[in-house]
Amino acid sequence: SQQGEEDPQALSIQEGENATMNCSYKTSINNLQWYRQNSGRGLVHLILIRSNEREKHSGRLRVTLDTSKKSSSLLITASRAADTASYFCATDVTGNQFYFGTGTSLTVIP
Amino acid sequence: DTGVSQNPRHKITKRGQNVTFRCDPISEHNRLYWYRQTLGQGPEFLTYFQNEAQLEKSRLLSDRFSAERPKGSFSTLEIQRTEQGDSAMYLCASSLPSFLAGSTDTQYFGPGTRLTVL
């Protein structure tokens, strides 16, 4: 079974709005990563946050991690139509295996 | 293009046939991963190589599945006696080990091979 669960499953917003998606996981982790996947394509790495970090920024992306709640959030600010994609969190538990969540499908309406 | 490449991009086969997929990782990456992704789901880990050694295998990898990485470069994933339930996107990813990558383990994914079993 998959380690992570993203919430919501689907999100539709207007261009320029912020998008927030959440990830919950079950076991202790080394790090957590967020990936984007455009329809029918491979995954693109967005950002990695380590278990001893609480917040990271990369451009319009902001990721938080709360290890006590076993949860993470991804915030995309000032969304663009090109941000339309599925977003997955992936947890690194063993250093060799990565467990992906079920994904959040984001639609940004121009 | 120096990214991860996978061939073929699409494969349609009849149930019971064998299929083989190939993955060429980024040249300096010594870690290689195979995942399977079905519609509406996230990728599921199948197996992992460090150089030519297959170090981990998921329980999802039944005895009909075999993966190799003979020279520590490209890898192949073979599915024997395919079943309709094998229909999925098969993704390959590669990475540098953490101690070389400055304590990061970012996986770089290929475009995937979409398998349809009729």
Lowest mean pLDDT among A62-76, B61-75, B103-117: B103-117
Mean pLDDT over residues B71-96, rounded? Answer: 94
A41 CB neighbours in chain B (<8 A) are 111-112
Q: Which of A5, A9, A21, A43 to mutate to test the interface with B (most CBs of B within 10 A)?
A: A43
* Residue environment code for A80-89, b if the CB has 16+ CB neighbours within 10 A, otherwise e: eeebbbbbbb
Calculate the average pLDDT of chain B: 90
CB–CB contact B45 A41 (8 Å): no
Lowest mean pLDDT among A60-64, A84-88, B2-6, B73-77: B2-6
CA-based nearest distance A99→chain B, Å: 7
CB–CB contact B41 A2 (8 Å): yes
Q: Give the pLDDT band of residue B103 (cuts 50, 70, 90).
A: very low
Question: What is the CA A9 to chain-centroid distance, rounded?
Answer: 12
CA-based nearest distance B116→chain A, Å: 14
DSSP string, B88-106: EEEEEEEE--TTTTTS---
- In this prediction, residue B69 carries a pLDDT of 95
pLDDT digits (tens, 9 = 90+) for B13-64: 999 999 999 999 998 888 999 999 998 889 999 998 999 999 888 887 889 9
**Conformation bin of residue A68: beta by default, left when phi > 0, alpha when psi is -120 to 50:** alpha
- In this prediction, residue B99 carries a pLDDT of 59
B55 CB neighbours in chain A (<8 A) are 96
**Each residue's pLDDT tens digit in chain A (110 positions)?**
456 788 899 999 999 999 999 999 988 888 899 999 998 778 999 999 999 999 999 999 999 999 999 999 999 999 999 999 999 999 987 766 788 988 999 999 99
CB–CB contact B111 A48 (8 Å): no
Q: Which of A86, A94, A96, A104 to mutate to test the interface with B (most CBs of B within 10 A)?
A: A96
Strand A55-58 relative to strand A61-66, pairing:
antiparallel
Task: Supply A29's token pair.
Answer: 């982790």
DSSP string, A38-74: -TTS-EEEEEEEETT--EEEETTEEEEEETTTTEEEE
